[in-house]
Amino acid sequence: MNEEIIIAGFGGQGVLSMGKILAYSGVMQDMEVSWMPSYGPEMRGGTANVTVILSDSRISSPILKMYDTAIILNQQSMDKFEKYLKPGGLLLYDGNGITRHPERKDINVFRVDAAEEASKMQSSKTFNMIVLGAYLKIRPIVSMENVMNGLKKSLPERHHHMLPLNKAAIERGLEIVQEVQVVG
């Protein structure tokens, strides 16, 4: 198993922390992982993205051109990364604010309206966990138990009271993800 993922959106959407939780979950499941953020002053409120790789064997390049999965959380990221999906790859996106939906016909497309759901849950901070849940529904590469262990590991202890809320958000994501297009 070797899963190469780009997660991209606005700074503040929890892009980097979602990647981190996914990477920690992989560690809990005894996988090799890498987490490589884009960084710099432009991340203050600008676009943010992170490359996460989970693999059964030693990971070579942590920086990639083509991805197995793209998790897209705003229009700029859709424009930038749709073309870098491998044929047959997975594009998961949040529909909020998206004006141009995915156009490629050779990829699998799923949608999760996580922003809307997060506002229903009255906690914008659950947004990225809803997206993570949606991703894990399509690609169950780590068990829920290890995701919760990863979450625990990556959250500072003072935020551990948020664990049940995050778990609920992940479970909500599992439920509400919608299939848009599936190829071969």
Partner 1 sequence: MVVLQAESEIASINMVYGGAGCGKKVMTSSSSPGVSLMQEGITYLAGAELPCVVVNVVRGGPGLGTIQPAQSDYFQAVKGGGHGDYKLIVLAPSSVQEMADFVELAFDLAFKYRNPAMILSDGMIGQMMEKVEMKPFTPRWTDEEITKMHPWATTGKPASRERNIITSVELDANAFERFNHKLQAKYKQIEENEVRSEMFECEDADYLLVAYGSSARICQKAVQILRAKGIKVGLLRPITLFPFPTKEIQALLGHVKGILSVELSAGQMVEDVRLAVEGKVKVEHFGRLGGVVHSPEEVVEAMESKIIGG
Tokens 């848009």 sit at which residue?
A: 180
DSSP 55: E
The least CB distance from residue 137 to partner 1, in Å, is: 25
Residue 35 touches partner 1, criterion: CB under 8 A: yes
64 makes contact with partner 1 (CB under 8 A): yes
d(CA 37, CA 62): 10
What is the distance between the alpha carbons of residues 125 and 30, in angstroms, rounded to a whole number?
28
Q: Which residues contact 48 (CB under 8 A, 6 or more apart)?
A: 8, 9, 10, 11, 13, 15, 16, 37, 38
- Select 18 or 112, whichever has its Cβ closest to partner 1: 18
User: Judging by DSSP bridges, how do beta strands 2-10 and 47-55 pair with one another?
Assistant: antiparallel
Q: Smallest distance from the beta carbon of 103 to partner 1, in angstroms?
A: 23
Instruction: Report the distance separating Cα 177 and Cα 56, nearest Å.
Output: 27
Which range, of 38-46, 108-116, 164-172, 173-181, touches partner 1 by CB under 8 A? 38-46
Based on the shown chain and the rule CB under 8 A, indicate whether residue 155 belongs to the binding site for partner 1. no
Instruction: Give residues 65-84 in contact with partner 1 (rule: CB under 8 A).
Output: 65-66
Which one of 39, 143, 159, 182 is in contact with partner 1 (CB under 8 A)? Answer: 39
Which residue from 10, 36, 116, 123 is in contact with partner 1, where contact means CB under 8 A?
36
Residue 40 or 184: the one with the smaller Cβ distance to partner 1 is 40
Q: Interface with partner 1 includes 62 (CB under 8 A)?
A: yes
State the amino acid at position 54 in one-letter form: L
Rg over alpha carbons for the chain, rounded to the nearest Å, is 15
Residues ≥6 apart with Cβ < 8 Å to 184: 88
Which among 7-15, 39-47, 98-106, 139-147 is the span making contact with partner 1, rule CB under 8 A? 39-47
What residue ranges bind partner 1 (CB under 8 A)? 20, 23, 27, 32-37, 39-41, 59-66
